[in-house]
Structure 1
């Protein structure tokens, strides 16, 4: 099994709350949120947009994505909850430990994911 986690910081208001909600409504996706972070999850991936001020724009967002690269053709819905947990954990690590986002409280309590 191969899981890839990627991230970047988006500035300039490219991803607004309505735009992220629209992305979450795409076929095969469910909305995902944790604290102030929001995004979406599917059976093979998840994306969270985490508020991350301090990159030249107080409204900048860290976009964190976890993707299952090698999966059998019969991936089942049971994977969705696993990707929900994986995406939240990856987002928390990237935002707090790697990017050092200035508002760690934007993610929910680790014990409540």
Structure 2
């Protein structure tokens, strides 16, 4: 579990995982691949639990990038640097980005 916690605390990993250009299916595959590299014995239940834990963070990032804030009260469990969301939203590939439905 320490390996997974370390992985989730790395800004480069979170940027790659939460990148709004990825579909949710691509992000899930990315997460599974990296969790299994960190902990080869990680079963599907653990990977499912991590995915469900991260879902609000995916929503938060995509809404922030699109300029549709979820409100001041909502805070994702995984801290995401606001600067990265602003940078994503201003970069050419993300202009007019439409996320897939939840």
Shared fold (TM-score, shorter chain, > 0.5): no
Report the structure, 1 or 2, having the larger helix content: 2
With the length of structure 2 as denominator, give the TM-score of the two structures: 0.37
